[in-house]
Amino acid sequence: MDKLHEALISIRRILRASDIHAKKLGKVTGLKTSQLIVLQSLEEFGEMTVGEIAGKVNLAQASATALVDRLQAMNLVMRARGNTDKRKVFVQLTEHGRNVLGRAPMALHDRFSDKFKALDEWEQSFLVAALQRVSGMMDASDYDVAPLLDHEVIVEKGGEPPRSAH
């Protein structure tokens, strides 16, 4: 097998692992990975504005707003005006949201994160550089994406996948 085939098989295995995990997550919780990330952020940091959520999960505010809207429709989060500043609207987990989080399998990116952090610094740098090169080779360097291992595409209102402003 030549190096090209080995590289393509490795990329396909990564995509397949992401697909399998996303299906398992959906089956167990009814959530997509991006929705799980928002819920986990709310659990970790407490109530936040949509803008703060967007910053924590590295998404455009429009994408975060759409995610919060869907989570609110599922009764997993709720919005409430701030006590001290009534102009601000905060998002917080509902009891149902906490229960769903308790059932969720460990996110694929969390497993990757644990193993990545265990690597030596030089190996982490090498992997980041190699993955950035692969991303560039696939003309994917400019996509604005959250740091999670799932191939779902969060589509902005214009109907196109979000692109980075860089």
Residue 144 forms part of a structural domain: no
What does the pLDDT look like over 79-92, one tens digit per residue?
Answer: 998 777 778 899 99
Of all residues in the chain, the percent with pLDDT exceeding 90 is: 49
Helix (H, G, I), strand (E, B) or coil at 152: coil
Dist. CA 149–CA 165, nearest whole Å: 22
What mean pLDDT do residues 94-107 have?
A: 90
Residue 147 forms part of a structural domain: no
Answer whether residue 122 shows pLDDT above 60: yes
Residue 117 forms part of a structural domain: yes
Residue 154 forms part of a structural domain: no
What mean pLDDT do residues 11-32 have?
A: 88
The CA–CA distances, whole Å, from 128 to 10, 51, 92, 124 equal 16, 28, 34, 6
pLDDT confidence of residue 165: 38
pTM of the model: 0.71
Q: Answer whether 71's CB lies under 8 Å from 93's CB.
A: no
Residue 158 forms part of a structural domain: no
Residue 145 forms part of a structural domain: no
| Region of poorest pLDDT, from 64-68, 107-111, 140-144 | 140-144
Domain CATH number, residue 53: 1.10.10.10
Closest listed residue to residue 91, CA positions, set 52, 61, 43, 48: 48
Count CA atoms within 13 Å of residue 154 on its CB side. 28
Helix (H) or strand (E) holding 121: helix 121-137
Residue 108 forms part of a structural domain: yes
pLDDT confidence of residue 159: 41
Tally the domains of the chain: 1
Question: Which domain does 120 fall in, by range?
Answer: 3-137
* The residue to which tokens 């595409």 are assigned: 153
What does the pLDDT look like over 46-86, one tens digit per residue?
Answer: 999 999 999 988 888 898 999 999 999 999 999 998 777 77
Residue 156 forms part of a structural domain: no
pLDDT confidence of residue 158: 39
**Residue 20 carries which side chain, given as an amino acid letter?**
I
**Residue 70 carries which side chain, given as an amino acid letter?**
R
- Tell me the residue length of the chain: 166
